[in-house]
Amino acid sequence: MKAFKQVMSWVIPVVIGLLIAFLIRAFVLQPVRVDGPSMLPNLQNNERVITWKQAKIHRGSVVVFDANGVDPQVSQKTYYVKRVIGLPGDTVEAKNGKLYVNGKLVRQSYINKYQRKEGTGNWTLKSISVQNSWLKNSGTTKVPAGEYFVLGDHRSVSNDSRYYGFVPKSKLLGVVHVGFWSGNQTKKSNVNDEWKHYFQAN
């Protein structure tokens, strides 16, 4: 009996610890590894970030989502990291590298002028939905209810909503947060805080 109590004295804390870790990972936060160059210069390939599952999603938030069922080229669970450009009900268009959401100019200081102009292009939701043969919402002019329009920061190489359409809320894992371990304060702010000043000031 004494031996049993001794065993349980360390088994129970371990089980409780594992349960807490599981609950945190399932409902609060999850570490994610960035794969590929589509979020350069703000997130590097193989960079480790934290995903907050309960964080509110804003225009300008960087999010993680499961591309399976969103991108037709993906057939298994695959996490993409992109930036939210349009919320449900928004109109989105690009003119000469400038982004407009609901007719308002988006502040894009988180990427350089080349990425804005050469990588972004000229389009509306309607034009890219037809041009890229979206499987859903072809010809739409607004982001549908419960869905989001996302772009990579390095748009000339990013596979994003321009090509496969909107991301349903059910596919979102959470909002990306770059932790204290990142030594570049500008890039960290471009990921963590850009949503706070999304539109260009008049």
Catalytic residue among 2, 9, 38, 117: 38
Of 35, 36, 41, 71, nearest to 153 (Cα)? 41
Catalytic residue among 9, 61, 82, 156: 82
Of 87, 86, 75, 71, nearest to 38 (Cα)? 71
Task: Tell me if residue 82 is catalytic.
Answer: yes
Strand, helix or coil at 151? strand
**β-bridge mates for residue 48, sequence order:** 33
The rounded distance, in Å, linking the Cα atoms of 78 and 183 is 28
Task: Tell me if residue 127 is catalytic.
Answer: no
The rounded distance, in Å, linking the Cα atoms of 37 and 80 is 11
The rounded distance, in Å, linking the Cα atoms of 38 and 192 is 17
Residue pair 64/155 in contact by the 8 Å Cβ criterion: no
Residues with active-site annotation: 38, 82
